[in-house]
Structure 1
Amino acid sequence: MKSSKPQFVGKKVTIGELGKTQSGGTPSSKHPEFFNGSIPWIGTTALNGKFLGKNDAVKLITEEAVAKSATKIVPEKSIMVGIRVGVGKVAINAVPMCTSQDIVSIVGIDEASWNKEYISLALQYKAPLLAAQAQGATIAGITSKTLKAIEIPAIPINEQNRVVDILRKLENQVGFVRKQLCGLDALVKSRFVEMFGDLKSDTNGWPIKPFETFAIIDTHMANDLTPYLDMPHIGIDSIESGTGRLSGYRTVAEDGIISGKYPFTPEHLIYSKIRPSLNKVALPDFSGVCSSDAYPILPIAGECNRVYLAEVMRSAYFLEYILPLSGRAQMPKVNKKALSGFSMPLPPIELQQQFAAFVAQVDKSRFGGMLHLLNSLSGIMHASFFSVADTD
C-alpha cells in the first residue's frame, strides 16, 4: 500500500539557495508626492499566508517614491517574509509591489523546480523557529542571514503540488468552520451589551475602577525555561483577533527557546501589548509561557472575572484608550504603566460570573470541538510534511 506521505529524497535546501533576497523600505511621509500613486506598498500586517493583490496595499506609492527611497519593486509571485514585528509571517504577491524594511522578499525562484505555495507553507511551519531567534532592544527581529539559513525538505515538484493541495483543502475546511462560528461570536458580543450596556457612557452606572485594583500584570519573567519544556509557547500570532482562540503554537522544546518568557496558568488571560495586535486577548485553559510581546494578566478573585475582562479588552472602548499610548515610532508597545492606568466600569462579580457562564455554554456549542480538531489536524499535517528538515 502506497504511503500518503510524500517520499522525501533525503535532501534539504536552504531558503538562500532558492533565490535572491531583496529588502524593502518606507518612503518618507514628508514627501506627499511619493503617495497616491499606482504601486502597491505593504507592511507586515498585510502578510496573510496566501496571495496578495493591489487591494491588499497599505498605501499606493509613485515611481518617484521607489526611485528616491530604500523601497524596491518586488517581482510578482515572489515570497515575502516578515523579519520584524510579524516575524515569520509569509505571503506571495500576485502583482508587483513594494514592501517596508520589515519584509524580506525571495525573488528569482525556479518555477520549474519549486511550487511557491509549498515554500510558503514550509516557511509558515518554520515561523515559530524564526520568531524564537528574534533579537532587539526595542523592536525584535531577525536578519536576512537567519532567514536564508532556514532549511526545508527538497521533494519533486509533483510531490510539492500534492502537499499544497492537501493542506489547502484542510485550510478550507478550517475556514468553513470558522465562518459557522462567527454567529456564535456575535451572540456573545450581543449578550455582553445586553448585560452591561455601553461601557464608554457607563449607562448602568457601574463603579469606575482603576486596572490595578482588580488585576495584576504578571511580569515575572522566567530566565530558565527548563521546567517548561513540555508546555506550550504562545506567541501573539497564535492568538486570533476578536475571539482569542489559540492555534499554531508549539511546545517550548519544539521552539528551541531557552529564556526570556512569561509563565502563565489557566487563571491568567494573555494580552498582546504590541501594535497592531492590541485587540488580541486569549483565555488559555492550560499552563505555559508566552512571548515577551504579551502580558499575562491575573484578575483578582472576587473583584474581576477574566472572561468579562477579556471582552472589555477586545472592545473599541479599551482600544480608544490604549492606542494613543502605543503609537510612538521607537516603542510601538503598551508598557505596564500605561495599562495599569486604564479604568473601566466594574459590575458586581455575580453579574460578571453570569456572563462567563453564558460564554461557557456557547463554547460547548462550538461544533463539539470541531475547530480545535481541525486546527490540530492541520498542525499534524504540516509537521508530517515539513518537520523532516528538523529531524534528518
Structure 2
Amino acid sequence: MTPSKHQFVGKKVKLGELCEIYSGGTPKRSVSEYWTGGNVPWVKIGDITEKYVSSTEECITQAGLNNSSAKLFKPGTLLYSIFASIGAVGILNILAATNQAIAGLVIRDNSLDHDFLYHYLKSREVASKTSGRGVAQSNINLTILRNMQVPVPPLVVQKEIVQNLEIVSRQLKMAKLQLSKLDSLVKSRFVEMFGDFACYETKPLIKCVDCIEAGKSPKCLAFSRKMAEPGVLKLSAISSGVYCENENKALPRSVSLTIDKVVHANDILLSRKNTPELVGRSVLVKHTDGNIMFPDIIFRMHPLSPINAMYLSYLLAGPLLHSIQSLAHGSAKSMSNIPKSELAKLSIPIPALNLQNEFANFASQVDKSRFGGMLHLLNSLSGIMHASFFSVADTD
C-alpha cells in the first residue's frame, strides 16, 4: 500500500491508523510437507535479536504458507512480538513469514518515519519492563496493538531523534561487545585452569550441595514489581546466563513472600523447566534486595565444602550445560523438564579447593570491571536513550 499524505503531524495517533497490522501463523508441525525442504524464512521471537532481521532458524514451504494463517511480509516490515516476550521489535531485511506471536506492521502514512516508529516501539518495551505497567502483561492482541497511541512530531524532529538514537545505539552495541569479551575472558580462564576434568575426583551433584529445591509460584500480577516490593522471578531472570532481578512479576498485596523461597546472594539458580534450548540454564546470584522469590520451575542449591560457588556456577553453565539439558524430558513442541532425581546424579568434578578459589578471585576481579565500569555505562546509555526519546517524542 502506498503511504498517504501527511495528516497526523503534532498529534498522538492510534497505531492502527498509521499502519496495516497483521499477525502471523504456524503451519501444522505434523505435516512434513509444510516444513521439509522449506525455503520461506519463518520468524520466531528468538530470531529478533538485532534491529534488522536478516535470517531465521527455521523455514517453511510454500505449501505451509498457503495452508496456514502465516503471511508473507516484505522487507521493511516492522515486527512486534505480542505473546510471551512482549515488545521485541525488529525490521525485516528479507521476504519472510512469522509465527502468530509476532505482528507485522506496514506503515501507510507519510506522517511517520520508519526508523522513528522502530525506536518508539523499542522504547515502549524498555518502559514496560522498568515501570511494571504498560504492555508488560503475558500477551496482547491486535486490537490492543492497533489502539496503542503513538506521538507524531514533525518529520524533521522525528529524523533528528532517530539520528541521535542511532548514535547511542552504536555506543550500546560497543558496550555490549566489551561485556561479551569479558565473559569470554572468564570462560577461557576456566578452561585453562581446569583443563581435562577426567583427572579429577567426582561426586554426584546431590553430594556437592546442601539440597536441590524448587521454588514456589503463587498467583502473581501481570506486571513487574516496583522498586524492592515483593515479587517472583520470571524464567527470563536467569535464561541469559546473567542474573536479572528486574525480570519478575509483582505479588498481590494479599500474598506474602514465602520466607524459605526468598532469593539470597550466593544462591545458584537453575531452570528446571523451559524451552529445549533454555532449559538447564543457571546463574550465581551475586546481589539481591532479598525481597523476591524464585518460582517452582527453578531449582536452587548451595555448594558444600570443598566446592566453591563461583566454580560450580561456571561448571554448570558451561562444560556441563549440554549434559544437564540431555536430562530434560519433553518434545520440541512443549516445555522440557529436568527431573530432580536425575539432576541429583549429575557427576561433578572436584579440583583442589585452592585452584577453585583462585578461579573465583579472577572471576570476581573481572566482575568488578563489568559492574563498576561497562555495565554502568550500558545502563546509563540505555536510560539516557529512552528517557530522551520520551521527553522529545511522547508529547501531547
* Class of the TM-score when normalised by the shorter of the 2 chains: 0.7 to 0.9
Which structure would you say has the larger Rg? 2
- Judge conservation of contact 1:25–1:70 (CA < 8 Å) in 2: yes
Structure 2 counterpart SS, 1:210? helix
Is the partner of 2:200 in helix, strand or coil?
coil
Note if 1:59 corresponds to 2:62.
no
The aligned runs of 1:200-211 (5 Å cut-off) are: 202-210=198-206
- More moved, 382-391 vs 27-36: 382-391
> Aligned residue for 2:184?
186
The Cα of 1:99 is off from its aligned counterpart by 0.7
The count of aligned residue pairs is: 368
Distance 1:96 1:208, change over 3 A: same
Match of 2:274, SS? coil
Instruction: Tell whether the 8 Å contact from 1:214 to 1:303 is kept in structure 2 after alignment.
Output: no
Q: Deviations over 1:297-332 (max 9, x none)?
A: 352564654422331232252233325626435641
Contact 1:216 1:300 in 2 (8 A): no
Cα distance in 2, alignment partners of residues 168 and 240 from structure 1 = 28
For each residue in 1:241-268, what CA deviation from the matched residue of structure 2 results, as whole angstroms up to 9, or x when unmatched?
45x2759x48x7xx87758998533333
Q: Distance in 2 between matches of 1:76 and 1:114?
A: 17
Query: 1:312 maps to what in 2?
Result: 315
Residue 22 of structure 1 aligns to a residue whose secondary structure is strand
Query: Residue 97 of structure 1: CA displacement?
Result: 0.8
Change (3 A) 1:365 1:133: closer
Q: Comparing 167-176 with 204-213, which one deviates more in the overlay? A: 204-213
**TM-score under structure 2 normalisation?**
0.75
Counterpart of 1:343? Answer: 346
Partners of 2:341 and 2:134 in 1: CA distance: 29
Q: Distance in 1 between matches of 2:162 and 2:206?
A: 50
Could you list the per-position Cα deviations for residues 255-297 of structure 1 after superposition, in whole angstroms to 9, with x for gaps in the alignment? 8775899853333345455324344636342325478597373
What's 1:231 paired with?
228
Q: 1:299 to 1:315 in 2, by over 3 A?
A: same
TM-score (norm 1): 0.76
Shift of 1:212: 8.4
- The residue number in structure 2 matching 1:356 is 360
Query: CA, structure 1 residues 240+10, in 2 after alignment: closer, same or farther (shift >3 Å)?
Result: farther
Secondary structure of 1:377's aligned partner: helix
The answer to whether the 8 A contact 1:283-1:307 is kept is no
The Cα RMSD (Å) is 4.0
Consecutive unaligned residues in structure 1, runs of 5 or more? 1-8, 135-140
Matched residue, 1:47: 48
Q: Is the 8 A contact 2:14 2:150 kept in 1?
A: yes
**Matched residue type, 1:325:** A
Are 1:73 and 2:72 an aligned pair?
yes
- C-alpha distance after superposition, 1:151-191 (max 9, x if no partner): 34332222222222222211211222333344432221122
Whichever residue aligns with residue 41 of structure 1, its letter is W
Q: What is the rounded CA distance, in whole Å, between the counterparts of 1:263 and 1:21 in structure 2? A: 42
Identity %, equivalent residues? 30
SS at match of 1:361: helix
SS at match of 1:207: strand
SS at match of 2:265: coil
1:107-122 equivalences under 5 Å are: 107=106, 109-110=107-108, 112-122=110-120
